[in-house]
């Protein structure tokens, strides 16, 4: 054994002994398999941390403590009897409160659905259940997945894992905070304009928006069916790859899913990140804050130091893509919400209501034009940007993580639009194009909060970007950073 | 477990500044921005829809 292998091994043993919640999903799975931990121990470790962190961060809307412990005991008995359900057997996860489970409440972060019970189960939950995962509870989110800051007046704002008083990012706010704070080993999020990648960046974790059609949306609360994506959020790229291998694949209940087989975790294990060519945008041509630029440039230097083939690429203007996506989101969301918009207007968070309102003023022909433009823009991007590279590197957020007080909703609609546009400037275009995109930790800004970078892959090449993220993260150890509850800013 | 550090029961006051004209202005600016892109669309563009296009853009596995 070399020093490079001894140190991670000792670090893992220490975590198993001191706090199993500090393990990654893949490590926890391995500890269950070799008998060094039980599923009940994992669940109790997560619940212990939830008790301490929840009052300060509010990542959960509801915790299924008793159910989770009972299920863990069942999984342990099954394992002792030689029955393993799947690759997530006995692993505690938690999910954004928008994935339906038949007979259970699913609020969508809204007042309107506070007591609403689902009449079906989301395919992604069924697949995780079948793989043996345990559901710890329902995670906080922006109302109806409609807001990139993650604020929620109905269930309380979810705070950033690294510092109370700062946004968690949204709309999968609870997923970002819970995973960074080690309250669960993995979570599902949804992403219509950046809702997985924004909280992943803000909380220093890995969040993957897969290719459009890769993962079923059946039983997931819709926001904009053309741009909605469901994906994993976890501490490492390997954890996301394992979750993706379980949830991806054709679903007869969602006709938009691709017939391509789900990528196997073994394939991720054998991918060679060193062979890939990385394209990047010239930092001087990006509209990003200096602190974000510094982190982005540091990442570029790290990649170059590893002798990975990397070259600058001329990026298209992202603003038109952003606007095309906005037309689609607003039009589809207005249609979905029309009934409640008229009958229960007072039950919406006012900024969410305002965002919906503009959708009713967009003519049908403009909406259809926007949908048709999607193919043209996707083709152009592949034939220009991806002509000579396998992966594209971009910032995730264009600004440092703001304080909750800086996104005060008493600001005008125009001010809020400007802020939200800044948060999703470089994420939303890839919902329109439908290409796989992930955010991975890249460093910290002056306030001590995480700052991520985005990797974008060609259609269906999730494992290219996950493998590359895994390679970079194995060199900089940013996945080992654990936020401290005592940090109050 | 559902309490917020800053009080779920006492959210910040909601915006009174947004007017219908602001919302309409947003919609009009989006429509104007889209119009520039729409001019690029040709009669035969996207005949089979986006999923078919996406599949055609993928590399062989």
CA–CA separation, B23 and A74 (whole Å): 53
Chain A CB contacts of B28 below 8 Å: 361
Pull the structure tokens for residue B24: 């309409």
Helix, strand, coil in percent for chain A, rounding step 5:
45, 15, 40
From A153, A213, A351, residue closest to B51, measured CB to CB: A213
Torsion from C-alpha of A32, A34, A37, A43, nearest 10 degrees = 0
**Residues forming beta bridges with residue A346, ordered by sequence position:** none
DSSP code of A454?
A: E
Chain B CB contacts of A458 below 8 Å: 57-59
Catalytic positions of A are 96, 171, 195
CB burial of A324-360 (b: ≥16 within 10 Å; e: otherwise) equals bbbbbbbbbbbebbeebbeeeeeebbbbbbbbbbbbe
Are B7 and A156 an interchain contact pair (Cβ–Cβ within 8 Å)? yes
Question: Could you tell me which residues come within 8 angstroms of residue A133 by beta carbon, excluding any fewer than 6 positions away?
Answer: A88, A89, A91, A92, A93, A246
Pull the structure tokens for residue A389: 């590279």
- Secondary structure (3-state) at A438: strand
Q: Where are the beta strands (DSSP E) in A245-363?
A: 278-280, 310-312
Q: pTM for this structure?
A: 0.94
Contact A462, A436 (CB under 8 A): yes
Going by C-alpha positions, the residue among A353, A145, A340, A346 that lies closest to residue B22 is A353
B11 close to A (CB below 8 A): yes
CB burial of A26-47 (b: ≥16 within 10 Å; e: otherwise) equals bbbbebbeeeebbbbbbbbbbb
User: Could you state, in order of their start, the residue ranges of all structural domains in chain A?
Assistant: 3-480
* A positions 457-486 inside 8 Å of B (CB): 458-461
ipTM score assigned to the predicted complex: 0.85
Residue B1 has pLDDT above 90, yes or no: no
Chain A CB contacts of B1 below 8 Å: 50, 54, 60, 62-63
Contact A190, A228 (CB under 8 A): yes
From B6, B14, B33, residue closest to A157, measured CB to CB: B6
- The pLDDT, as a whole number, for residue A463 is 95
CA angle A147, A150, A156 (to 5 degrees): 120
Cα A280 versus chain centre, distance:
22
CA–CA separation, A268 and A444 (whole Å): 28
CA–CA separation, A166 and A155 (whole Å): 17
CA–CA separation, A93 and A95 (whole Å): 7
H/E stretch holding B51: helix B50-57
B54 close to A (CB below 8 A): yes
Q: What are B9-48's pLDDT values in tens digits?
A: 334 434 445 678 888 998 999 999 999 999 999 998 887 8
Chain A CB contacts of B8 below 8 Å: 58, 153-156
Contact A231, A430 (CB under 8 A): no
Sign of the C-alpha dihedral computed for residues A400, A401, A406 and A410 taken in this order: positive
Minimum Cα–Cα distance from B19: chain A residue: A413
SS (H, E, C) A84-138: CCCCCCCCEEEEECCECCCCCECCCCCCCCCCCECCCCCHHHHHHHHCCCEEEEE
Pull the structure tokens for residue A96: 């954004």
Cα A8 versus chain centre, distance:
26
Going by C-alpha positions, the residue among A197, A183, A149 that lies closest to residue A394 is A197
Contact A311, A389 (CB under 8 A): yes
> Which CATH architecture describes the domain A3-480?
Alpha-Beta Complex (3.90)
H/E stretch holding A455: strand A450-457
Phi, psi (5° rounding) for residue A330? -65, -40
Contact A280, A300 (CB under 8 A): yes
Q: How many Cβ atoms are within 10 Å of A225's Cβ, its own excluded?
A: 15
B32 close to A (CB below 8 A): no
How far is CA A209 from each of CA A102, A139, A255, A417, rounded to the nearest angstrom?
Answer: 25, 18, 19, 23
Rounded mean pLDDT for each run of 10 residues along chain A, 489 residues in total? 63 74 98 97 98 97 98 98 98 98 98 98 98 98 93 95 96 98 98 98 98 98 98 98 98 96 90 89 95 97 95 96 96 98 94 91 97 96 96 97 80 71 93 98 96 98 96 93 75
Number of H helices, E strands in chain B: 2, 0
CA–CA separation, A121 and A137 (whole Å): 15
How far is CA A240 from each of CA A93, A243, A354, A453, rounded to the nearest angstrom?
Answer: 12, 5, 34, 16
B45 close to A (CB below 8 A): yes
CB burial of A269-296 (b: ≥16 within 10 Å; e: otherwise) equals eebebeebebbbbebeebebbebbbbbb
From A159, A366, A417, residue closest to B31, measured CB to CB: A366
Contact A175, A139 (CB under 8 A): yes
Are A354 and B28 an interchain contact pair (Cβ–Cβ within 8 Å)? no
**Residues forming beta bridges with residue A186, ordered by sequence position:** A234
- The pLDDT, as a whole number, for residue A269 is 86
From A61, A320, A326, residue closest to B2, measured CB to CB: A61
């Amino acid at each position: 054994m070399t020093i490079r292998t001894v140190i991670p091994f000792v670090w893992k043993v220490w975590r198993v002994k001191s706090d199993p919640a500090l393990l990654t999903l893949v490590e926890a799975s391995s500890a269950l398999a070799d008998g060094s931990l039980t599923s009940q121990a994992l669940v109790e470790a997560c619940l212990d941390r939830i008790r301490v962190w929840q009052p300060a961060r509010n990542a959960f809307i509801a915790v299924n403590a008793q159910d989770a412990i009972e299920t863990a005991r069942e999984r342990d008995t099954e394992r002792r009897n030689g029955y393993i359900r799947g690759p997530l057997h006995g692993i505690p996860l938690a999910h954004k409160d928008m994935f339906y489970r038949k007979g259970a409440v699913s609020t969508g972060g809204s007042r309107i659905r506070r007591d609403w019970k689902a009449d079906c189960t989301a395919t992604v939950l069924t697949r995780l259940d079948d793989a043996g995962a345990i559901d710890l509870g329902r995670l906080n989110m922006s109302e109806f997945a409609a807001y990139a800051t993650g604020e929620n007046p109905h269930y309380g704002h979810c705070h950033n894992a690294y510092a109370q008083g700062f946004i968690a990012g949204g709309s999968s706010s609870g997923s970002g905070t819970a995973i960074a704070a080690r309250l669960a080993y993995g979570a599902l999020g949804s992403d219509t304009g950046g809702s997985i990648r924004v909280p992943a960046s803000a909380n220093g974790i890995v969040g993957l928006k897969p290719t459009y059609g890769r993962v079923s949306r059946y039983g997931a609360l819709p926001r904009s069916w053309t741009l909605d994506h469901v994906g994993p959020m976890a501490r490492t790229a390997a954890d996301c790859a394992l979750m993706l291998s379980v949830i991806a694949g054709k679903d007869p209940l969602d006709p938009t899913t691709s017939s391509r087989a789900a990528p196997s975790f073994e394939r991720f294990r054998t991918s060679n990140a060193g062979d890939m060519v990385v394209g990047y945008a010239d930092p001087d041509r990006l509209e990003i804050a200096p602190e974000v630029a510094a982190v982005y440039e540091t990442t570029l230097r790290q990649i170059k130091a590893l002798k990975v083939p990397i070259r600058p690429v001329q990026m298209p203007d992202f603003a038109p893509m952003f606007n095309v996506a906005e037309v689609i989101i607003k039009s589809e969301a207005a249609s979905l919400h029309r009934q409640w918009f008229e009958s229960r207007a007072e039950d919406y968070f006012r900024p969410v209501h305002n965002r919906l309102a503009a959708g009713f003023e967009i003519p049908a022909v403009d909406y259809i034009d926007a949908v048709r433009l999607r193919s043209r823009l996707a083709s152009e991007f592949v034939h220009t940007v991806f002509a000579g590279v396998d992966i594209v590197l971009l910032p995730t957020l264009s600004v440092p993580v703001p304080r909750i007080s800086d996104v005060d909703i008493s600001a005008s609609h125009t001010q809020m639009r400007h802020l939200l546009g800044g948060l999703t400037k470089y994420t939303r275009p890839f919902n329109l194009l439908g290409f796989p995109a992930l955010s991975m930790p890249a460093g910290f800004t002056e306030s001590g909060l995480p700052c991520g970078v985005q990797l974008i892959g060609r259609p269906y090449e999730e494992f290219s970007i996950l493998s590359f993220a895994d390679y970079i993260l194995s060199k900089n150890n940013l996945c080992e950073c654990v936020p401290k509850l005592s940090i109050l800013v | 477990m559902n309490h917020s550090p800053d009080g779920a029961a006492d959210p910040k006051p909601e915006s009174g500044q947004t007017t219908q004209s602001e919302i309409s202005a947003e919609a009009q600016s989006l429509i104007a921005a889209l119009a520039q892109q729409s001019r690029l669309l040709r009669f035969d563009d996207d005949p089979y829809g986006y999923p078919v296009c996406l599949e055609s853009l993928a590399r062989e596995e």
